[in-house]
A and B are shown apart, each in its own frame.
Chain A
Amino acid sequence: MLTILKKIFFVDLIRGLLVTFRYQHPKNIYTEQYPAERPKIAERYRGAPRLNINPETGETLCIACNLCALACPEQLIVVTSERNEVTKRKELTKFTYDLSRCMFCGLCEDACPVDALELTQDFELASYTREGAIWDRQMLEEGPKPIWYRY
């Protein structure tokens, strides 16, 4: 009897509708207004790579040990170095990082002994050309320039 009454008065549907109506209230809106309002990115986020430089001298921290290139499963990092005749130390010449093949697994970052290579919080990595996804040393040191939208 009760079930028939419940069926007649659409109790099941109304209960569901009550849930949806409860969420009509503006304080329950959850949408992020992305370009205007940027999301908070976690500190450990693995996004765009960066090759850290010493902030005082402007010299790169990378010691050209090639460990990151060896650790990468996709083998997309190419490090070339040159022996400095004066100091007899290896110096970094070129560093290319093919973002289009990177899966942001973080293995390269873990492998780096001096924390020179780091995956940062930048996440806007789109580019108009395929070549644009291949980052050279300068790009890696400066980092991408995020576009700020204004309304």
Chain B
Amino acid sequence: MAERTYLGADELILNMGPQHPSTHGVLRVVLKLDGERILRADCVIGYLHRGIEKIAEYRTYQMFAPYVDRMDYVAAVSNGLGYCLAVEKLLGIEAPPRAQVVRVIMTELNRIASHLLWLGTHALDIGAVTPLFYVMREREEILNIFEAYCGARLTTHAFRIGGLQYDVYEGMEQQVKRFCKMFRPKIDEYEELLTENRIWKDRTIGVGVLTAEDCKAYGVTGPLLRAAGVKWDIRKAQPYSGYDRYEFEIPTRPNGDTYDRYLVRIQEMRQSVRIIEQAIEDIPEGPIMAKVGKVIKPPPGEVYVSIEAPKGELGYYIVSDGSTQPYRVRVRPPSFVNLQALDKMARGGLVADIVAIIGSIDIVLGEVDR
């Protein structure tokens, strides 16, 4: 039967956003409701479109690097790493070992920062206000490390093509170690607040289920995929930047609901601390920059490089025509791809759950719209 184009007698169209506080930015969701039940959820995006992919065509390779920070602005370091790796592959070079280790430390710290912000806002959406204050406090420590390392807190522009611009600052090792030591008990604290809490459980268990098959069909990656029981992490599957040197596990959960996504991300933070602790122990001596000219002119060709960003697979597809500017840069942002599964997750659920579901995807609108 073809879908009706008119509304039934007890059906209702509800417009959620773009200024709704729990859509994490400017996402507009058009909900079709039957009483409290969601029949359909259509996302309307584009309110934050800045044409970053187009900007790339008018910038040299080095100049475009700060722009990628503006896509997923809570995980700017990961974006920068992905872009630098892509251009490095295009050039056929590799960052020196010292640079690689520092990159790993920075990206893992950024993963924790991103997950912390997610945890705080997600819990706030569902009604737990307290974690937000605590996660902000811990995130501040990470941002202080970023500030001391590269001079910016959010849009960091931490890495350069071919290595690093900034070397490790004095006292970084101690600061990072202190952070790791301080942070482990804090994760337990968040868990004490939420994991067993009955309200939290009632609001999240069984909400927004996405099975492994659905995830694969939609191309959903990251914690959502792992919460559905698939052990897939690009850091393990296609190790980059020396991730194969570190010991860590890929946390998975079987059910694929909002609660499992929460647990997966909590576990991921623990694993990130593990990686950082291993990496900070031995930062090899040596140069921090590979041999790259002042003018970057890659040979004609195309590359696709993907990394495991906090939100899923972040890919850069760069086409070079041999000039100093890329011919085309296409970004595969994890949030954008993950967001399309919203309809699937929300259908049949209650309208109150849509906030929890949007929160559990962990979208950043800067990345969805680019």
Residues on A lying within 8 angstroms of B by beta carbon are 7, 11-13, 15-16, 18-20, 23, 30, 41-46, 71-73, 103-107, 110, 119
Contacts and interface: CB of A to CB of B under 8 A. Distances in A.
B62 A107 contact: yes
B151 A13 contact: no
A13 B62 CA distance: 52
24 contacts: A15-B192, A16-B193, A19-B130, A19-B189, A20-B193, A23-B134, A30-B140, A42-B147, A42-B148, A42-B151, A43-B148, A44-B150, A72-B63, A73-B59, A73-B63, A73-B64, A73-B66, A103-B70, A105-B155, A105-B157, A106-B157, A106-B165, A107-B63, A107-B66
A59 to B, nearest CB: 27
A138 to B, nearest CB: 25
**8 nearest A-B pairs in the assembled complex, by CB-CB distance:** A105-B66, A73-B63, A44-B151, A12-B196, A46-B151, A42-B148, A42-B147, A16-B193
B67 interface: yes
B165 A110 contact: yes
Given A42-B148, A71-B63, A73-B59, A13 B130 contact: no
Give the secondary structure class of B's interface.
helix
B149 interface: yes
Interface residues of B, number: 31
Given A7-B198, A12-B196, A30-B137, A44 B166 contact: yes
A26 to B, nearest CB: 15
B198 A13 contact: yes
Given A19-B192, A105-B66, A107-B62, A45 B137 contact: no
A119 to B, nearest CB: 7
B197 A13 contact: yes
Interface of B: 59, 62-67, 70, 130, 134, 137, 140, 144, 147-152, 155, 157, 165-166, 169, 189, 192-194, 196-198
Contact of A45 (B134, B147, B192, B198): B147
A132 B188 CA distance: 48
Contacts of A13: 197-198
B169 A103 contact: no
A72 B64 CA distance: 10
Given A43-B148, A44-B169, A45-B147, 11 more contacts: A15-B192, A16-B130, A19-B189, A20-B193, A23-B134, A43-B169, A44-B149, A45-B152, A46-B151, A104-B155, A106-B152
B148 A44 contact: yes
A30 B214 CA distance: 43
A23 B67 CA distance: 39
A89 B223 CA distance: 60
A12 to B, nearest CB: 4
